[in-house]
Amino acid sequence: MTPITTFFRNLEAKCCASCGKVISEQAESYATECFSCQDQATADSYKHYYKKN
Ligand SMILES: [Zn+2]
């Protein structure tokens, strides 16, 4: 039998803090944002870094 409550609890715990999207099971435990939001944040800081130089 599938522990469905645990499954949904895991889904709840893995929601993107930025867009609220459910994070896939491959997300690292410390990640609070989905991959696209993380990607955007990385691209943003990269742009900022480039602007400064
Ligand atoms: Zn997100």
Which sequence spans correspond to the domains of the chain?
7-24+31-52
pLDDT of residue 53: 64
Ligand 1 centre from 1 Cα, in Å?
Answer: 32
Minimal CA–CA distance to 30: which of 42, 41, 21, 38? 38
Ligand 1 centre from 36 Cα, in Å?
Answer: 6
Ligand 1 centre from 7 Cα, in Å?
Answer: 20
User: What is the full per-residue pLDDT of the chain (53 aa) written as tens digits?
Assistant: 667 776 656 555 578 889 998 887 654 566 788 888 989 989 999 999 998 76
pLDDT of residue 34: 86
pLDDT of residue 7: 62
Note the pTM of the prediction, 2 decimals. Answer: 0.52
pLDDT of residue 29: 61
Ligand 1 centre from 26 Cα, in Å?
Answer: 14
What whole-number distance in Å separates Cα of residue 32 and Cα of residue 21?
11
